[in-house]
Structure formats: C-alpha cells, structure tokens
Amino acid sequence: MALGWMTVLKLVPWAELIEATPKIVKAAQHLMGQVRKSAKPQPVPPAPLASDAPEALHNLQQRVYQLELAQQESAAVIESLAEQNAKLVQVVEMLGKNQQRLRRGLWILAAVVVGLVVWAVRS
C-alpha cells in the first residue's frame, strides 16, 4: 500500500533538515568546486590507439571517459539538489513565520470577539 504525500511529508524530520541545510549546501558547493578543479569542463574522448595496443587498454580508456562524464553529471545534480533543498527550507521557514503571524492574529481576533460578546451581554 502506497503512502500518501502528506504521510510521507510528516515522516520527514523537518527540524533536522532545516538545521543541516547550510552544511549540505556548503558541502555540495565544495564538492562541485573540487570537481571543477580536478576535471576538465568536458572530458576529452580517448584518442585512437595503435592497432597493436591491447583491447583491454582501449576499454579502460573508454571506461575512464564515461566515469568522468558521470562524475560531472552527478556533481551537477548534487549541487542542484542542494540548492533546491535550501530553497525548500527557506519556504518552510517562511511558512512557519506566516503560521505564527496567523496564530497571533487569530488570538487577537478571538480576544476582540470575546470582548464584544462581553460588552454585548453587559449592554
């Protein structure tokens, strides 16, 4: 049985996530910086080998090239997820502040209504 979205969202430890977000973003940016420094912007495909070169060497060169591409794509995805996570945390914080304002407004409104009821009863 699939869990509903609300159930899944309730299972997320939001306080821990909000607290850890700056560290996650910083780590993702650090990782992306390392990838940019260590890897070329676009890996160069391996040059053709001489006809007497072993096939295994050619396969290894192809594999390294593919791994470099995958590493760059993964780092970009991680950075994107960290940025989205930071934006999500900002929105959650904003919603929390709005909820507090609404709660205060509700208490003020309730106090005004109680005051009006008391005034109407005494009049």
CB 43, CB 68: distance < 8 Å = yes
Judged by average pLDDT, the poorest of 28-32, 65-69, 99-103, 108-112 is 28-32
User: Is the distance from CB of 45 to CB of 65 less than 8 angstroms?
Assistant: yes
CA distance 14 to 30: 24
Q: Which two tokens stand for residue 29?
A: 């940016």
Range with lowest mean pLDDT among 10-14, 95-99, 102-106: 10-14
Report the first-to-last Cα separation within the chain, whole angstroms.
59
Report, as an integer, the average pLDDT of 21-32. 76
**pTM, 2 dp:** 0.49
Contact assessment for residue 85 and residue 24, using Cβ atoms and an 8 Å cutoff: yes
Using DSSP, state whether 122 is helix, strand or coil: helix
